[in-house]
Chains A and B, each alone.
Chain A
Amino acid sequence: MVNTVLFLIPLLPLLGFLILGLGYRTIPSKWTSFIGPGTIFLSFILSLLVFFNFHHFAISPFRHLSPWIHVGSLDIPFAFLIDPLSALMLLVVTGVGFIIHVYSVGYMKDDPGFNRFFAYMNLFVFSMLLLVLGANYPIMFIGWEGVGLCSYLLIGFWFKNHEYNNAAKKAFIMNRIGDLGFLLGMFLIFTTFNSLSFNQVFSQAKSMTMGDPTIMAITLLLFIGAVGKSAQIPLYTWLPDAMAGPTPVSALIHAATMVTAGVYMIARSNILYVLAPATMTIIGITGLATALFAASIAIFQNDIKKVLAYSTISQLGYMFVGLSVGAFTGAMFHLATHAFFKALLFLGAGSVIHALGGEQDIRNMGGLRKKLPKTYWTFLIATLAIAGIPPLSGFFSKDEILLHLFGHSPVMWNIAVAGAMMTAFYMFRLLYLTFFRNFRGTEDKLHHIHESPPVMAIPLIMLALLAAFGGLLNIPGLFGGGDWLSGFLSPVFADAAAVTALPATISHATEYLLMGVTLAGCLIMIWLAYHRYVKKEMGLLPDDASHSFPVKLIRKKYYIDELYDLIISKPILLISRFFHDVVELRFIDRMVNGVGNMVVWTGSTLRYIQTGNVGFYMFIMILGIILILFLNILI
């Protein structure tokens, strides 16, 4: 019974995918509107069931479902692991997934690929659940690859646009680099521990020494996988381009769930990571650099979805920073709250885009506060949440990471606070430019603006509630809360906590001070954004306007895409061209054609033996027989 429930959670979305995928030509879209979100809803109910009966699962978290791979000493069962960490992820994936599915029913209503869209979305949820539930690395890897595939399919959903296809390919190839790291990490785990199951690997790892080079290699390789999937420096450039997909896809895959898979994976392998302090340092630097770097790009972006994309990269950076200082709970907490408010921001952006008939440039928006009240209010809540304004969810989760960071290194804390201030600035810039002052688009568009239908508005409100109150999950003791999430997740991170040194206790006074500084910084930034974009209406320059060099550098996203193009794509293209023009055409083609020409030449020469004279044939035949006889005698 217990196993069946667990099994059904990923199976239902798979079933939905099969029904919608196989019958996408015949199933009327009215049914799809129920099947698509329905399967996810049932999974969500089952996840709740698992969550509220968690004590049943806590007795034996490893659920063996069937044997799978059994070759020699390699034994990988098809098993699920249901512990607090995966239970939390289950709720996030199915809960947010369901809300976004409902929203998609309205958003994708008139799209000819309606059924295809929901088939892909269901497949995505299935893969994500597999990733989250797997009790060993290979099953996690299947989910890992599955979400990558769905990401590719959904970015290139409108496949008639060539640019979108290129964006999809870019995402897929970038992820492939990371996946190679993951795969190599898995091989190394197997050669080291002779197993790939979480329980066996982790229990053996516990007895390893701190800073073991093998563990360091494993964690670094796995981290490369996380860098690719979670869009960190240097593999982040695919995520902004991934905004080519429909907006619900950006909300579900490229904000709430898939891109957080790297964070989940590291949190899952926490014991390995705490044993590799060098890797942790690298993760910390990467995360911090990404958080700051992406935030600075977001300030100058003019595409509503691109701003959010860079914001996502930046927030993922925060999660990695949190992981790197051992704040696993903080990172998971931020993952959950980020899933709420970032999904809400994307859905709100989708609602704006929908209302404006496809317009994505914030320079052509403005004044939408009155026209789209529901979107405005929900968007405001999400913006406040991501900016870290109490008592919204983002405040608590970001603060927990920052607090751990301060205990670890005040310098890192300073940089992270600078990033948080930038976050507040670019988010409020986005909000002000979109919803304040007057509409800057054409008169024609102004008349067509309409608030989204209830099927889209209700998910916005649901997510707004989550974004507002998600912080209640883990209210720190400072505010009289019980740190519920920390307590809930503590069994997962118990081994890691035992290995790491206790963080320096920070007095409540310091804690208040740190919060106050961060909050004050963010409020100043909000005021600055208000001053620039509401009072003065700046930042509406066209793309070709001239700027001073640093601004131009950031506006052009530090020329990173161009740099990659120059140092990777161009040389590969050059080599490919060389191989095509010289090696292929001059050598291989000539060799292959030479064989063919020789056969033709031989045939055309030898055919003259076919004289048509029967006597001659027989003469040759008998000559042959005599020859064979003679050879027999001779040899």
Chain B
Amino acid sequence: MTTLQSIPIQYYLVFCSLLFSIGVVGVLIKRNALVILMSIELMINSINLLLAAFSAYTNDPAGQIFVFFIMVVAAAEVAIGLAIVVLIYRTTHTIDINVLNKLRW
């Protein structure tokens, strides 16, 4: 039993669920696009943590490899997301998502 495995898996599960829920709520209630992006980042990281935890508990490195992939993708996503936010700000001078509702029926 490694050091990591000395902490019960339930702890990780509860912690990650909480973290994920905070992210979801952030996405739902915030109006600032930047904060929404950050909330999404929070959700991704909670998943990463859970993957790493399970990987350690089952002695299967595949989970950790996944984490790296997700990090890379998340970094790319954030770069593009931020670029879009910057462009939106330049043209509309706002990043309030409730104002950005031009694309509808």
Query: Do the two chains bind?
Result: yes
Contact flag A622-B105 (CB < 8 Å), given A614-B97, A615-B98: no
Q: How far is the CA of A619 from the CA of B105 in the complex (A)?
A: 19
Q: Which residues of A contact B28 (CB under 8 A)?
A: 615, 618-619, 622
From A608, A612, A615, A622, give the contact of B102 (CB < 8 A): A612
Binary flags per residue of B65-102, CB closer than 8 Å to A gives 1, else 0: 00000000000000000000000000000000110111
Neighbour of A615 across the interface among B97, B103, B105, CB < 8 A: B97
Asked whether A207 is an interface residue with its Cβ less than 8 Å from the other chain, the reply is: no
Given A619-B28, A622-B24, A622-B28, do A613 and B105 touch, yes or no (CB 8 Å)?
A: no
A622 and B31 CA atoms in complex are apart in Å by 17
B27 touches A618 (CB 8 A): yes
Contact among B24, B27, B31, B104 with A612 in the assembled complex (CB-CB below 8 Å): B104
Contact flags A597-631 to B (C-beta < 8 A → 1, else 0): 00000000001101111110011001000000000
Name the distance in Å between A210's Cβ and chain B's nearest Cβ.
84
A610 and B31 contact, CB distance less than 8 A: no
Using CB atoms, name the residue of chain B closest to A616.
Answer: B101
Choice from B24, B27, B31, B101 contacting A611 with Cβ under 8 Å: B101
Assembled-state Cα–Cα distance A613/B24 (Å): 17
Contact at B101–A613, with CB atoms within 8 Å?
yes
CB distance from B16 to the nearest CB of A (A): 15
Instruction: Give the size of the chain A interface in residues (CB under 8 angstroms).
Output: 11
Contacts of A615 in B (CB 8 A): 28, 31, 97-98
* Residues of chain B lying within 8 A (CB to CB) of residue A614: 97, 100-101
Per-residue CB contact flags for chain A residues 436-455 toward chain B (1 = under 8 Å, else 0) read 00000000000000000000
A612: B residues at CB distance < 8 A: 100-104
Q: Is the interface of A mostly helix, strand, loop or mixed?
A: helix
Complex CA gap A388/B100 in Å reads 101
Q: Chain A residue with minimal CB distance to B100? A: A614
Rounded to whole angstroms, the CA-CA distance of A158 and B28 in the bound complex is 77
Q: Within the assembled complex, what's the spacing in Å between the Cα atoms of A302 and B87? A: 90
- Which A residues touch B100, using CB under 8 A? 612, 614
Q: In chain B, residues 9-64, which have Cβ atoms closer than 8 Å to a Cβ of chain A? A: 24, 27-28, 31
Of A610, A615, A618, A622, the most chain B CB neighbours within 10 A belong to A615
With both chains docked as a complex, state the minimum distance between the C-beta of A602 and any C-beta of chain B, in angstroms: 14
Q: How far is the CA of A619 from the CA of B26 in the complex (A)?
A: 11
Query: Which partner residue on chain A sits nearest B40 by CB separation?
Result: A618
Inter-chain CA distance A622–B101, complex, in Å, is 19
Q: How far, in whole Å, are A608 and B31 apart by their CA atoms in the complex?
A: 22
Interface centre among A610, A612, A622 (most CB of B within 10 A): A612
B105 close to A608 (CB less than 8 A): yes
How far, in angstroms, from A308 to B11 measured CA to CA in the complex? 106
Shortest beta-carbon distance from B3 to chain A in Å: 32
Provide the residues of chain A in CB contact with B101, threshold 8 Å: 611-614
Collect the chain B residues with CB atoms within 8 Å of residue A622's CB. Answer: 24, 27-28
Contacts of B98 in A (CB 8 A): 613, 615
Q: What are the residues of chain A within 8 A of B31 when measuring CB–CB? A: 615
Complex Cα distance, B105 from A607, in Å, reads: 6
A608 and B97 alpha carbons, distance in the complex (Å): 19
Q: Chain A residues near B24 (CB, 8 Å)?
A: 622
In A452-505, the 8 Å CB interface with B consists of none
Interface residues of A in 565-624 (CB under 8 A from B): 607-608, 610-615, 618-619, 622
Q: In whole angstroms, how far apart are the Cα atoms of A614 and B102 in the complex?
A: 11
The docked-state distance in angstroms from the alpha carbon of A484 to that of B24 is 106
With A and B bound together, what is the CA distance between A611 and B104 in angstroms?
5
Q: Which residues of B contact A608 (CB under 8 A)?
A: 105
Cβ-closest chain A residue relative to B33: A614
Nearest chain-B residue to A607 (Cβ)? Answer: B105
Given contacts A615-B97, A615-B98, is CB(A610)–CB(B27) below 8 Å? no
Q: Does A610 contact B105, Cβ atoms closer than 8 Å?
A: yes
Residues of A within 8 A of B103 (CB): 610, 612
Q: Which residue on chain A has the smallest CB distance to residue B25?
A: A622
Least CB distance from A619 to B in Å reads: 6
State in angstroms the CA–CA spacing of A619 and B36 once bound together: 13
Q: How far, in whole Å, are A610 and B105 apart by their CA atoms in the complex?
A: 6
The smallest beta-carbon distance between B15 and chain A, in angstroms, is: 19
CB distance from B35 to the nearest CB of A (A): 12
Chain A residues near B102 (CB-CB < 8 A): 612
Contacts of A610 in B (CB 8 A): 103-105
Most B CB within 10 A of own CB, among A611, A614, A618, A619: A614
Contacts of A619 in B (CB 8 A): 28
Q: How far is the CA of A611 from the CA of B101 in the complex (A)?
A: 7
* Alpha-carbon gap, A566 to B104, bound state (A): 64
**Cα–Cα distance between A608 and B104 once the two chains are bound (Å):** 8
Which residue of chain A lies nearest to B24 when distances are taken between CB atoms in the complex?
A: A622
Q: A614–B27 Cα gap in the complex (Å)?
A: 10
Instruction: For the complex, give the distance between the alpha carbons of A615 and B32 in Å.
Output: 11
Q: How far is it, in angstroms, between the C-alpha of A23 and the C-alpha of B14 when the chains are bound?
A: 83
**Complex: how many Å from CA A618 to CA B100?**
14
How many angstroms from the CA of A613 to the CA of B100 in the assembled complex? 7
Nearest B residue to A604 via CB reads B105
Least distance between A612 CB and chain B CB atoms (Å)? 3
Least CB separation from B103: chain A residue: A612
C-alpha gap A544/B37 in the complex (Å)? 96
State how many angstroms separate the Cβ of B77 from the closest Cβ of chain A. 16
- Measured in the bound complex, the distance between the Cα atoms of B78 and A263 in whole Å is 87
Q: Which residues of B contact A611 (CB under 8 A)?
A: 101, 104
Shortest distance between the CB of B24 and any CB in chain A (Å): 6
Further contacts, 10 of them, CB under 8 A, given A613-B97, A615-B31, A622-B27: A610-B104, A610-B105, A611-B101, A612-B100, A612-B101, A613-B104, A614-B100, A614-B101, A619-B28, A622-B24
Interface of B toward A, CB cutoff 8 Å:
24, 27-28, 31, 97-98, 100-105
Sort A-B residue pairs by CB-CB distance and give the 6 closest, nearest first.
A612-B104, A612-B101, A607-B105, A614-B97, A610-B105, A613-B101
21 examples of A-B residue contacts, CB within 8 angstroms: A607-B105, A608-B105, A610-B104, A610-B105, A611-B101, A611-B104, A612-B101, A612-B102, A613-B97, A613-B98, A613-B101, A614-B100, A614-B101, A615-B28, A615-B97, A618-B27, A618-B28, A619-B28, A622-B24, A622-B27, A622-B28
- Point out residues on A near B: beta carbons under 8 Å: 607-608, 610-615, 618-619, 622
